């Protein structure tokens, strides 16, 4: 799958703007990724997180996953997102849930993490790596900020074979569909950053349920707009409906899936692995 004909920076800004939009929350509900808190908690258990862990959540959105990790495992969680409204919303949510002592949220780019080398025990990234224009650089950054012996856990859309034409383009990219990769490619990305690839766990059913729920919300949203009880300026519902329809068909057929993939950084760095950033 090739990248849409847009500059990488434009793609990143489009994604950030889209996930800052209130319409996204309305259409996807409280969970911005398949499986919601259940899959986030499962990811935390696979990574064996505990109260002593310092965790980085890359592309943390409005903080839903980061706060699940902080609450369920007692970790210190740092969330990073490119959308300023998301960071503000996450900070507010942490305050309301009494988790400010275990969480903090910052604005920044996954492909240039604003943190020092070897500062986190774990890095998580949920349903976002597939939207990054430069995936190898992002994963290399995950590895850089990870302490020796630390672990990376991603959950993301996967695909088997080429996607239909309707799931290409910028809109589908923002919807986390257009650049979904086969599981083996995600594993290769992690290995390419010098990480030892660990478990892979399929959660395809969570994707079917997630897309089906969006389709139902779209139907309700259309009715509300038709009754003039709701306005969503700047939202192309026709395009969204088309992407959701084809994504649901692809998920049901097994062409699109969802998986957790983990990897670990060597506890003792190998010769030549240390290229510390000044």
Which pLDDT score, from 0 to 100, does residue 250 have?
86
Span 64-99, pLDDT tens digits: 999 999 999 999 999 999 989 899 999 999 999 999
Q: How far is CA 41 from the centre of its chain?
A: 14
- Give the pLDDT confidence score for residue 211 in this predicted structure: 83
**How far is the C-alpha of 167 from the C-alpha of 36, rounded, in Å?**
23
Residue 258 pLDDT class (50, 70, 90 cuts): very high
Residue 55 has pLDDT above 70, yes or no: yes
Cβ 178 vs Cβ 164: under 8 Å: no
Structural domains present in the chain: 8-264 (3.40.50.150)
Q: In degrees, to the nearest 5, what angle opens at C-alpha 192 toward C-alphas 190 and 198?
A: 35
Q: Would the pLDDT of 4 be above 50?
A: no
DSSP for 106-167, written as a single string: EE-BTTB-SS-TT-EEEEEEES-GGG-S-HHHHHHHHHHHEEEEEEEEEEEEEESSPPPGGG
Confidence (pLDDT) at 164? 73
End-to-end CA distance of the chain: 35
Low-confidence winner among 76-85, 132-141, 208-217, 219-228 (lowest mean pLDDT): 219-228
**190-205 average pLDDT score:** 96
pTM for this entry: 0.81
What dihedral do alpha carbons 72, 35, 155, 55 form, nearest 10°? -20
In the chain, what percentage of residues exceed pLDDT 90?
54
């Amino acid at each position: 799958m090739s990248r849409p004909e847009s500059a990488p920076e434009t793609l990143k800004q489009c994604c950030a703007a889209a996930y800052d939009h209130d319409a996204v929350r309305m259409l996807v509900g409280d969970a911005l990724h398949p499986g919601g808190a259940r899959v986030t908690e499962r990811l935390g258990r696979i990574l064996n997180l505990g109260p002593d862990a310092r965790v980085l959540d890359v592309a943390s959105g409005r903080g839903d996953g980061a706060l699940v990790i902080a609450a369920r495992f007692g970790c210190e969680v740092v969330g990073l997102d490119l959308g300023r409204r998301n960071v503000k919303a996450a900070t507010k949510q942490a305050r309301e849930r009494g988790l400010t002592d275990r969480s903090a949220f910052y604005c920044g780019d996954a492909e240039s993490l604003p943190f020092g080398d070897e500062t986190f025990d774990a890095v998580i990234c949920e349903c976002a790596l597939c939207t990054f224009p430069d995936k190898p650089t992002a994963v290399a950054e995950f590895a850089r900020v990870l302490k020796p012996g630390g672990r990376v856990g991603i959950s993301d859309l996967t695909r088997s074979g080429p996607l239909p034409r309707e799931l290409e383009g910028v809109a589908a990219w923002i919807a986390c569909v257009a650049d979904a990769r086969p599981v083996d490619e995600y594993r290769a990305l992690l290995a390419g950053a010098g990480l030892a690839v660990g478990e892979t766990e399929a959660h395809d059913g969570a994707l079917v349920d997630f897309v089906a729920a969006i389709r139902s919300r779209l139907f309700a949203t259309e009715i509300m707009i038709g009754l003039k009880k709701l306005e969503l300026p700047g939202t192309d519902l026709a395009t969204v409906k088309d992407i959701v329809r084809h994504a649901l068909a692809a998920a049901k057929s097994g062409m699109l899936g969802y998986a957790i993939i983990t990897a670990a950084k060597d506890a003792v760095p190998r010769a030549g692995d240390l290229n510390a950033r000044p």
